[in-house]
Structure 1
Amino acid sequence: MRLHTLHLQAFGPFAGTHTIDFDTLSADGLFLLHGDTGAGKSTVFAAICYALYGKPPGDRDLLLRSHHAPES
């Protein structure tokens, strides 16, 4: 199985709608996900787990809905 695209909306620190195109990132082989502390790297992995399995990874009590997103 290979992940091609991930769409995030109001997830973790990402208040808006964001798309990650893994095909573009991996066009040259491996890629590195890096950034400052709090940038959302772990949230991307949590979103992948949530998309695949319906729950965040491990026993961590994660707030999935972004507190930056407007109330719906």
Structure 2
Amino acid sequence: MKTAVIPVNVSTMTAEINAAESGKVYIVSNGKVTALELPKFGETSFITHDGKIDRVETNEKFKI
């Protein structure tokens, strides 16, 4: 699973993302935006604590 930090404009607290890209989830937490690439096949769970995403669990599957 690949992650990437998306730059945030600190004066406006906004970030620019490409809506044409598919297969990604964007997580906004503590003033940071993280792009998370989803697996081709499998399950992705978001574990929260105190109303914020604490961790991401992925169970990837492969077709044979």
TM-score calculated relative to the size of structure 2: 0.29
Larger RCO of the pair (alpha carbons < 8 Å, separation 6+): 1
Q: Which structure shows the bigger proportion of residues in strand conformation?
A: 2
Q: Which structure shows the bigger proportion of residues in helix conformation?
A: 1
